């Protein structure tokens, strides 16, 4: 069973990047839909064509910084390989300590580039059942304040929000103790209501992946969590199931929740899931994986709103198989992901 999202180490990076964007008023494109020449961190990162990938490419992300480091070291081949990651829009996992500032910084930078920011909210109390990515808000009131801060930061600018990976799934599989369920449903429903009150924000509530169970197990919990008010749901976040399997899972689930559309995290699913080694750790930094379809709103099915890179390729799932802490950048793994997709 896949549980950890591997985002613990994302926070510090997000704080720095969000602050830098606010101070510099960073823009990463010319807004004409054909990409720009603004190269954050000296990496020459541009936007993808808007008609296919309207999501913002962060020119100062960890992959872009790695491109710059390789260039400075004369490692042109490695720089070109990592550029496959740096050049694509990826999710910005907001830190609760600076949620308003980050949400404002990322959406302002995206708006200047005529793109939409892709934000991930991962701060539900009792998150990840205390595993690699455990933590989250101290209590319900702290979480509501976090959502208020995010909403204030986004304002009327465009944003697509992936709401709380695993939060519903972990109530279904009983990883999250039962005494927390009622509050969690209320918090998720409240978050959707708050975010959907914004003028240009889309919300996708996370709904697990193709490998954990059946849609019959999760469709009612999704309804209790407010899926009817959301734009849709997300599947395969931080996971490796193929796009084909994810579409099949998503379509079966969609039929049970009012035909809601969905998005698929394709960031690392190019070779499908890992099937060797300890079944309990197959999800954690599995070898031999590859980048999947690049982010796009042009998908294989009308119910699929987009392929997204929600998990940032190259960031560790946790301290397993030689990896650093969850969420920390791991250049060797990033190189292998990109090389395997060639």
Three-class DSSP category at 264: strand
Instruction: Decide if 128 is catalytic.
Output: yes
Length of the chain: 342
Given the residues 114, 231, 265, 317, select the one marked as catalytic: 317
Instruction: Decide if 51 is catalytic.
Output: no
Cα separation of 112 and 110, whole Å?
5
Describe the crossing of helices 181-196 and 140-154 by its angle, rounded to 10 degrees: 10
Q: How many helices (H) and strands (E) does the chain have?
A: 10, 7
Q: Where are the beta strands (DSSP E) in 195-248?
A: 201-206, 232-235
Given the residues 60, 71, 128, 265, select the one marked as catalytic: 128
Instruction: Decide if 148 is catalytic.
Output: no
**Best CA proximity match to 95, nearest among 150, 144, 138:** 150
Given the residues 60, 114, 166, 206, select the one marked as catalytic: 166
Spatial CB neighbours of 179, under 8 Å, sequence gap ≥ 6: none
Cα separation of 286 and 333, whole Å?
9
- Contact status, residue 66 vs residue 328, Cβ threshold 8 Å: no
Task: Give buried/exposed letters for 304-338 (b at 16+ CB in 10 A, else e).
Answer: bbbbbbbbbbbbbbbebeebeebbbbbeebbbbbb
Three-class DSSP category at 202: strand
Active-site positions read 128, 166, 317
């Amino acid at each position: 069973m896949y549980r950890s999202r591997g985002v613990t180490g994302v926070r510090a990076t997000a704080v720095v990047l969000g602050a830098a964007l606010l101070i510099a008023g960073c823009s990463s494109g010319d807004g004409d839909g054909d990409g720009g020449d603004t190269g954050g961190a000296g990496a020459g990162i541009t936007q993808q064509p808007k008609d296919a990938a309207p999501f913002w490419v962060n020119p100062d992300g960890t992959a872009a910084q790695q491109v710059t480091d390789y260039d400075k070291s004369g490692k042109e081949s490695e720089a070109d390989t990592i550029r496959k990651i740096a050049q694509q829009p990826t999710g910005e996992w907001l830190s609760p300590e600076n949620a308003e500032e980050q949400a404002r910084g990322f959406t302002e930078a995206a708006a200047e580039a005529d793109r939409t920011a892709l934000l991930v909210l991962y701060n539900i109390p009792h998150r990840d059942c205390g595993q690699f990515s455990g933590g989250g808000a101290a209590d319900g009131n702290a979480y509501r304040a976090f959502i208020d801060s995010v909403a204030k930061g986004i304002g009327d600018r465009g944003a697509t929000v992936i709401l709380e990976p695993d939060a519903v799934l972990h109530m279904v599989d009983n990883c999250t103790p039962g005494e927390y369920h009622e509050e969690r449903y209320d918090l998720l429903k409240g978050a959707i209501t708050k975010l959907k009150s914004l003028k240009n924000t889309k919300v996708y509530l996370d709904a697990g992946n193709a490998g954990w169970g059946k849609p019959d197990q999760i469709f009612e919990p999704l309804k209790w969590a407010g899926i009817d008010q959301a734009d849709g749901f997300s599947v395969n976040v931080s996971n490796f199931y193929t796009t084909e399997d994810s579409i099949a899972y998503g379509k079966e689930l969609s039929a049970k929740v009012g035909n809601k559309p969905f998005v698929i995290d394709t960031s690392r699913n190019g070779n499908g899931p890992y099937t060797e080694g300890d079944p309990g750790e197959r999800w954690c930094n599995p070898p031999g994986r590859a980048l999947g379809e690049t982010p796009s709103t042009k998908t294989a099915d009308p119910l699929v709103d987009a392929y997204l890179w929600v998990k940032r390729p190259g960031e560790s799932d946790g301290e397993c198989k030689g990896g650093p802490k969850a969420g920390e950048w791991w250049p060797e793994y990033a190189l292998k992901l990109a090389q395997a997709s060639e």
